[in-house]
Chain A
Amino acid sequence: MLEKAKYSWQAWVIPCIVILIWFVLGATGRLNAGVFPTIGEVWDAFLYLTGKGLLTEHIIDSLSRVLVGFGMAIVVGVPLGILMGWIPASQIWFGPILHFLRQVPPTAWIPLFLLWFGIGEGSKFAVIFYASVFPIAINTALGVQQIPNEYWEVSRALCLPAGKTLTKLILPGSFQAIFTGLRLGMGMSWRALVAAEMLASSSGLGYLIMSSRSLARVDEMLVGIAAIGFIGMFIDILFVGVQKRMLPIWQLRSEPVRGEVHGETSPAVGKRLQEVQ
């Protein structure tokens, strides 16, 4: 499942050096205990948090929020992307507003979302939804647009009804791009979630870091950061793995599509011809 080149021994060299330096600095007493705990103290904090089940609880809270918000983003983002890719004219309606909204970081909306959706789960779902819906919609639209014109012509020549065009051409033809959108969206939503939990929450990994700060528990803060990084990485690896596993056999050696645009193009012109109606 893992890419060999990415997770070979070289990948461990720098982390090991950092840990070694950290260990040596701690062992020789050169770390300011109040600001920078030793690696042993962080490990103890990890054992304490897992032992009491606190860490697991925070992780489950965070993940279930992501699941709901991300699910809503799929439900809205994929159809919206398909619409924009399938009917390019619809981009006149959605394009500009989408490009405006995706420039605004999800964190900028947190205060407003708190006001609108309350301090509970609603505002977190909204932040996650906001963070992931744009990459999903935009990548889906791109994927649909990248389906070769040759295949669209086949669907026209065979008079395929809309439903069949969707299931036999559009979804399989843009599958890889949709999946890339999901993967990017997941990364974005994970990051946005932590920010939301830091600002207003009573559970989750972001909350763990903020509450540890108020108790000046730097060791627990570092445990929270490590958990966020590892879980994010794990989710991404999971996505890549699923994507690879679902990579259809045809993609490994697909037939090259000829560059025919509108029937014959004269060798003298050779450029893309556009119809005059």
Chain B
Amino acid sequence: MARPVLQLENVSKKFNDGDGRGTIVALQNMDLAIQEGEFVTIIGPSGCGKTTMLRIMAGLTAPSSGRCLYKGKEVSGPSLERGYVFQDPRLFPWLTVLDNVRLAGNKGERFLAKMHLSEFKNAFPHELSGGMAKRVALARALAPEPDVLLLDEPLTNLDLSTRSSLQKELHNIWQQGVTCILVTHDIDEALTLGTRLILLSQRPAVIQHDIVFDLPFPRNLKSEECQHWRQKIVDLTMGVAY
């Protein structure tokens, strides 16, 4: 097998709670290897540490113990090779859409066009709808042309049609060779987009199940195969107990 693009080696993460009285263990002894070209979806109970896992891979948070490796080198901080899409768009409200996507590279305008937002490039973030703001955030993360895209529930709080059109964008991005890692709590989304599903336990999060599904794209969620997988995943998540 080829060298993994991203790798967690025995990673644990502890937090102090606000009073400093207790310690919260978010991740415990986690091992994971992600290959180039995978679309990994991560599902788990809320508050289990999915985001923490993603942040460690991005280099936004350092693990308390263990190592995170990107292409064999230890991650010591954020890098433009690993794009990060936050749960909320986090656009700078004082910059226009174009200036926001240009923060991280001159290719921003091209990605804005890919997201069908060229005509809004001079708008300010507050003038955008939720779906548009998320597209801008996606374009901003893509502007440096990352090899890996880390996505923290970017499609929550969106209406169905916006959601499915953004899912298509994500699928296109992945098909162009970007390795995607998506945190979600929507099984259908994982089935629509993913090639692999990581099911996390309650906190402290450990990998409960690691499922590779090799269904062809585009996927029809109503097909027998998808329904089969869906039922299997639901049963497994029930075992994890939400």
Contact = CB atoms under 8 A, between A and B. Distances in A.
Nearest to B49: A264
Given A158-B140, A255-B91, A275 B47 contact: no
26 contacts: A150-B90, A153-B60, A153-B86, A154-B92, A156-B78, A157-B86, A158-B103, A168-B99, A173-B94, A249-B126, A252-B126, A255-B126, A260-B88, A263-B152, A264-B51, A264-B52, A266-B47, A267-B47, A269-B24, A271-B18, A273-B15, A273-B24, A275-B15, A276-B14, A276-B16, A276-B23
B125 interface: yes
Interface in B14-61: 14-20, 23-24, 46-52, 54-55, 58, 60-61
Contacts of B208: none
Given A159-B78, A250-B126, A153 B24 contact: no
A151 B16 contact: no
A172 B103 CA distance: 14
Contacts of B80: 158-159
Interface of B: 14-20, 23-24, 46-52, 54-55, 58, 60-62, 64, 77-80, 84, 86-95, 99, 103-104, 124-126, 133, 140-141, 144, 152, 203
A20 B92 CA distance: 55
A146 interface: no
B115 to A, nearest CB: 17
Contact of B17 (A159, A249, A250, A269): A269
Contact of A157 (B16, B48, B60, B124): B60
A276 B64 contact: yes
Given A157-B84, A250-B126, A264-B50, A271 B17 contact: yes
Nearest to A272: B18
Contacts of A151: 90, 92
A105 interface: no
Contacts of A266: 24, 47, 203
Contact of B93 (A255, A258, A260, A265): A255
Interface of A: 150-151, 153-154, 156-160, 164, 168-169, 172-173, 175, 248-255, 257-258, 260, 262-269, 271-277
Contacts of A258: 87-88
Nearest to A147: B92
A273 B86 contact: no
Given A151-B90, A158-B104, A168-B95, A255 B133 contact: yes
B24 A248 contact: no
Contacts of A257: 88, 90
Contacts of A164: 103
A248 to B, nearest CB: 6
A252 B124 CA distance: 12
Nearest to A154: B90
B90 A153 contact: yes
Given A157-B60, A262-B52, A264-B50, A150 B17 contact: no
B129 to A, nearest CB: 11
Given A153-B60, A276-B14, A172 B94 contact: yes
Contacts of B93: 250-251, 254-255
A160 B47 contact: no
A268 B47 contact: yes
A206 B9 CA distance: 73
Nearest to A250: B93
Nearest to A254: B93
Contacts of A252: 126
Given A158-B104, A248-B94, A276 B88 contact: no
Nearest to B104: A158
